[in-house]
Amino acid sequence: MKKNILTLIFSVFVFVASAQTEKGTFLLSGSTGLNFLAMNYKVQYDGETYDDYDLSSFSVMPSFGYFIQDNIAIGLSSTMSFETMKYEDGDKEIMNSVMMIPSAFIFFPVEGDIKPFAQAGVGYSSMTNKWEPKTGSNYEDSYGGLTINFGGGLAYFVKENISFNLGLSYTKATFKNKDDDSEKIKQGNFGANIGIAIYLK
Give the three-class secondary structure for 21: coil
pTM: 0.70
- The pLDDT confidence band at residue 50, using thresholds 50, 70 and 90, is low
- The pLDDT confidence band at residue 48, using thresholds 50, 70 and 90, is low
Characterise 164 by phi-psi region: left (phi > 0), alpha (psi -120 to 50), beta (else): beta
- Res 52: pLDDT: 66
- Res 33: pLDDT: 53
C-beta atoms surrounding 77 within 10 Å: 24
Q: Is 197 exposed, middle or buried (0-12, 13-18, 19+ CB in 10 A)?
A: buried
Average pLDDT over residues 125-137: 90
Q: Is the dihedral of CA 120, 187, 195, 63 positive or negative?
A: negative
- The pLDDT confidence band at residue 155, using thresholds 50, 70 and 90, is confident
Give domain limits for the chain.
Answer: 26-200
State how far the alpha carbon of 96 is from the alpha carbons of 79, 148, 163, 191, in Å: 11, 19, 29, 18
- Res 2: pLDDT: 42
The dotted CATH code for 26-200 is 2.40.160
Percentage of residues in the chain having pLDDT higher than 90: 24
Residue 119 has pLDDT above 50, yes or no: yes
User: Is 8 or 31 the better-scoring residue by pLDDT?
Assistant: 31
- Res 46: pLDDT: 58
